[in-house]
Amino acid sequence: MKRPFKTRVRTLKIDGIDVGAREDETILELAQENGIFIPTLCHLEGVHDIGACRLCLVEIKGTSKLLPACMTYAEEGMEVITDSERLTAYRRQVLDLLFSERNHVCAVCVSNGHCELQWLAEKLGISHVGVPYLYPQLPVDASHSFYTLDHNRCVLCARCVRVCDEIEGAHTWDVTGRGVECRVISDLNQPWGTADSCTRCGKCVQVCPTGALFSKGKAVAEMTKRREFLPYLQQMREGRR
């Protein structure tokens, strides 16, 4: 959520580099502008942030808590550390947990080679998963005429939920259940193909970081996604208001 302040300028340090920021800018936006890499998974430019994946946690001098860069706003004199041994260890553990949670079989996944989870694992140097796999029994919903939802690959980043609600305005997707039993559902927990609110726009499919949502007819490693349209769409809407 953006704080409705009049824009003022803040100066702060990220990884020892002096940077200037607008007051309504998050640490993540600022880092990206300045070419500093912070891993993220649930963040999606164009929809509001939820701070769920915990990959973008950063250290801020004077605070003992780690804060999500995507939802922490620039403050005057802040000193941010985006990369440390501790942060890397935690980020790797987050990925470990995600890989163990569902059945991410990269070798036979439609998104193999185009998957953000897989890419992050490589980027953060995950050579193997340190916790036992949970191997849940999960369904695949292929009832939609254009697309398929494979719960086995879902990381519950809720990008689909947010893009459908905030950009498309359909709110076909939501999340049901608690804890590890959480599932993405369409409409009233019914097969996607029978969800009347779905406009078949496919935005959810394009923004899904993994192979959980994909176009029908795609075989292993064939599902590439494009999501450049999102910030553009959002900008156009804000401009019109």
Q: Provide the minimum distance between the beta carbon of 72 and another protein in the complex, in angstroms, as a whole number.
A: 8
Q: At what angle do helices 116-123 and 85-101 cross, to 10 degrees?
A: 140
Q: Given the DSSP bridges, would you call strands 173-176 and 183-186 parallel, antiparallel or unpaired?
A: antiparallel
69 is an interface residue for another protein by CB under 8 A: no
Q: Provide the minimum distance between the beta carbon of 180 and another protein in the complex, in angstroms, as a whole number.
A: 5
Count of positions on this chain that bind another protein (CB under 8 A): 63
Q: Provide the minimum distance between the beta carbon of 35 and another protein in the complex, in angstroms, as a whole number.
A: 19
User: Which of residues 181 and 228 has its CB atom nearest to another protein in the complex?
Assistant: 181
Q: Given the DSSP bridges, would you call strands 9-14 and 79-81 parallel, antiparallel or unpaired?
A: parallel
Q: List b or e across 11-22, with b for residues whose CB sees 16 or more CB atoms inside 10 angstroms.
A: ebebeeeebebe
Long-range contact list for 170-173, CB < 8 A, 24+ apart? 170/197, 170/198, 170/199, 170/201, 171/197, 172/197, 172/198, 172/199, 172/204, 173/204
User: Which of residues 66 and 233 has its CB atom nearest to another protein in the complex?
Assistant: 66
Largest CA distance in the chain: 53
Q: Provide the minimum distance between the beta carbon of 132 and another protein in the complex, in angstroms, as a whole number.
A: 6
Q: List b or e across 175-189, with b for residues whose CB sees 16 or more CB atoms inside 10 angstroms.
A: eeeeeeeeebbbbee
Q: Which of residues 169-188 bind another protein (CB under 8 A)?
A: 174-175, 177-182
Q: Which of residues 15-54 bind another protein (CB under 8 A)?
A: 50-54
Q: How far is CA 87 from CA 58, 83, 209, in A?
A: 7, 6, 22
Q: Which of residues 83-142 bind another protein (CB under 8 A)?
A: 89-90, 93-94, 96-101, 103-109, 112-113, 118-119, 121-123, 125-138
57 is an interface residue for another protein by CB under 8 A: yes
Q: Which stretch binds another protein (CB under 8 A): 31-39, 141-149, 152-160, 225-233?
A: 152-160
209 is an interface residue for another protein by CB under 8 A: no
Which alpha helices (H) appear in the chain, and where do they start and end? Answer: 27-33, 85-101, 116-123, 159-162, 203-207, 229-240
Q: Provide the minimum distance between the beta carbon of 93 and another protein in the complex, in angstroms, as a whole number.
A: 5
Q: Provide the minimum distance between the beta carbon of 157 and another protein in the complex, in angstroms, as a whole number.
A: 9
Closest by Cα among 146, 148, 203, 139 to 171: 203
Q: What residues make contact with another protein under the rule CB under 8 A?
A: 1, 3, 50-54, 57, 65-68, 71-72, 89-90, 93-94, 96-101, 103-109, 112-113, 118-119, 121-123, 125-138, 155-156, 158, 174-175, 177-182
